[in-house]
Amino acid sequence: MKSLVINQRGRQCANILLLIALQMFLAALGGAQTVALPEPPQVRAKNHVISLTLHAVNEKGRDAFAFDGGKVAPVIRASPGDVLRITYFNDLPGKSSETCAVNPCMDMTNLHFHGLAVSPNAPQDDVLGMLAMPGKVLHYSVKIPRDHPPGLFWYHTHPHGESHRQVLDGMSGAIVIEGMERYVPELGRLRERVIIVRGLSIEHEPNVAELKRQVDLSPKSCGGEAAEAVEEIFTVNGVVRPRIEIAPKERQFWRIVNASADRYLDLELDERSFEIVALDGMPLAYHEPEAPTRSANHLLLAPAGRLEAIVTGPPAGTRTALRTLCVDAGPAGDPHPEMVLADLVEPSSGRASSDPAPNHEHVLVDRPPSYKPIDVESMKKTPPDFIVTFTEDKNGFYINGRKFAPDANPMTSVRVGTYQHWRIVNNTGELHPFHIHQAHFLAYAENGVPHAHPAWLDTVNVPSRGNSDVILDFTDPIIKGMSVFHCHLLNHEDKGMMAKILFK
């Protein structure tokens, strides 16, 4: 179904015109006409405590995080055992002029720490009870377990009914849990890049043709509602089609998050491959120490999905792009055409861009956390412990025939210390990404066919008129209390496709 249009012309105009002005300025100086990949600010622990202050603000019709005098959300770098303390002020207007999935917009806000294995209770990852209206403040204190796996996670706003608007505006940032080099030692010597891909609405912009040309937007459709106009392009670390410097044969460690509110990425590097290290913040070697990496020519990344991979620089003089291929989101899905995200270029100095070597300022445990093997084969043969069914109609989106209600009882409960086999059924005409807070799961089959590469994820694509089978890990003793699972097309979540789960 057509995504809810929530960005007004003024909001996007300000962003796009700023980007174009900057690129024209560089061209006037005789430099390249594209912007080098910006590096977001980073915050680290002091004495195992990470403290920062965020403000939710609105400027020229666009919601954003304000941090340290700027409007760029920081990358939060934590180690297992650290405590993350965030003071979050809601400085949004008392009366919103925006359009939300559920009107009227209240300009309420909060934070979700996507993928982290932390408590769903306040003052940690509580998206149900911790909500700030304009003028209010939230105080988060999130304890990262000492045995937490390393990887890429992210934070974003999660107020039911308004999450799509805020995330589309860019209210998100990356979280890195340090220690990945304990699984793949080479990573400690490589240049690391945190790459945050967000959707940018262009539907009402006067310069749509120029923006489409800039990202080489393909006119070809591969599915979806073909009559719909393309509503979004992608930005990378806040800019359109930046340059990523990498020397020929240089190996870099890329950590990519699909931070879009409702768009899929089928990531591809021209004539190159990704040497995958982790998916959705879970190192491949955590469950399979004998197979710490695997190669892929492209990877479909759901909204909220993360890819961590080693990338090798192309030969000198080669034109190479990081792009998203066309994604068929089903006969009722939004269009997801092919476009270029960024260009790979040689460093201007001619030297490897990883010089000087990265500085890993964190404390690691003596050995990497290891996973106790379980008999997943026998669990695959059992009937599902629970079935999640996605449906939709002109009035909204549903799980098992019910819309989410803040005062509803949990749809299901699970005993901490167990595993469960769930089947996610999609009875709609479009692709849906299933996400559950606090837990990872093994996605092992689609439409009854085993995956060639089963993976531990926190967000999985469920095909139109099809299903996905997963085995959920509910063994973490820290995860107790009320949480949620939902479709991570946030427009759908806002309109009802979410339900509660009680960990007990």
**Per-residue pLDDT tens digits for 312-335:** 999 999 999 999 999 999 999 999
From CA 467, how far away is CA 448, in angstroms rounded?
A: 8
Q: What pairs with residue 501 in β-bridges?
A: 412, 483
Predicted pLDDT at 98: 77
CB 440 within 8 A of CB 457: yes
The helix (H) or strand (E) run that includes residue 493 is helix 490-494
Up-side HSE of residue 133: CA atoms within 13 Å toward CB?
4
Confidence band, pLDDT 50/70/90 cuts, at residue 99: confident
Q: Is the pLDDT of residue 430 over 90?
A: yes
- Phi then psi for 28, rounded to 5 degrees? -65, -30
**Per-residue pLDDT tens digits for 212-262:** 999 999 988 787 665 577 889 999 999 999 999 999 999 999 999 999 999
Predicted pLDDT at 278: 98
Greater pLDDT, 18 or 489: 489
Helices (H), ranges, 103-225: 163-168, 208-214
- Phi then psi for 56, rounded to 5 degrees? -90, 120
> How far is CA 163 from its chain centroid?
13
Predicted pLDDT at 373: 79
The tokens of 301 are what?
């990344």
Q: Residue 171 is which amino acid?
A: M
247-261, 362-376, 464-478: segment of lowest average pLDDT: 362-376
CB 333 within 8 A of CB 429: yes
101-110, 209-218, 309-318, 422-431: segment of lowest average pLDDT: 101-110
Q: Is the pLDDT of residue 27 over 90?
A: no
Greater pLDDT, 348 or 250: 250
What is the DSSP-derived secondary structure letter of residue 186? Answer: G
Rg (CA), the chain: 22
Mean of pLDDT values over 46-62 = 93
**Per-residue pLDDT tens digits for 68-80:** 999 999 999 999 9
Q: 258 CB contacts (<8 Å, ≥6 apart)?
A: 197, 264, 265, 301, 302, 303, 304, 305, 306
Question: Would you call 214 helix, strand, or coil by DSSP?
Answer: helix
Predicted pLDDT at 225: 61
User: What is the DSSP pairing of strand 49-59 with strand 62-66?
Assistant: antiparallel
Predicted pLDDT at 41: 97
From CA 35, how far away is CA 29, in angstroms rounded?
A: 13
Count of beta carbons in the 10 Å neighbourhood of residue 177 = 24
For the sheet containing 112-114, what is the strand order?
Answer: 42-43, 75-78, 172-177, 151-156, 112-114
From CA 326, how far away is CA 307, in angstroms rounded?
A: 18
pTM over 0.85: yes
Alpha carbon distances (Å) from 137 to 67, 90, 446 = 15, 6, 43
Q: 423 CB contacts (<8 Å, ≥6 apart)?
A: 384, 386, 387, 388, 467, 468, 469, 470
The tokens of 367 are what?
């050995």
From CA 138, how far away is CA 131, in angstroms rounded?
A: 8
Helices (H), ranges, 345-486: 376-380
Predicted pLDDT at 2: 39
Q: Is the pLDDT of residue 119 over 70?
A: yes
From CA 404, how far away is CA 496, in angstroms rounded?
A: 5
The tokens of 478 are what?
């820290």
- On average, the pLDDT of the chain sits at 89
Number of H helices, E strands in the chain: 6, 32
Mean of pLDDT values over 143-151 = 95
Closest CA to 122 of 141, 146, 143, 144: 141
The tokens of 451 are what?
């995956």
**Per-residue pLDDT tens digits for 265-301:** 999 999 999 999 999 999 999 999 999 999 999 999 9
CB 172 within 8 A of CB 259: yes
Please identify which residue in the block is written with the tokens 């819309």. 403
The helix (H) or strand (E) run that includes residue 492 is helix 490-494
CB 70 within 8 A of CB 41: yes
Predicted pLDDT at 366: 53
The tokens of 109 are what?
């806000």
The number of residues in the chain equals 504
Helices (H), ranges, 261-406: 284-287, 376-380
Predicted pLDDT at 33: 57
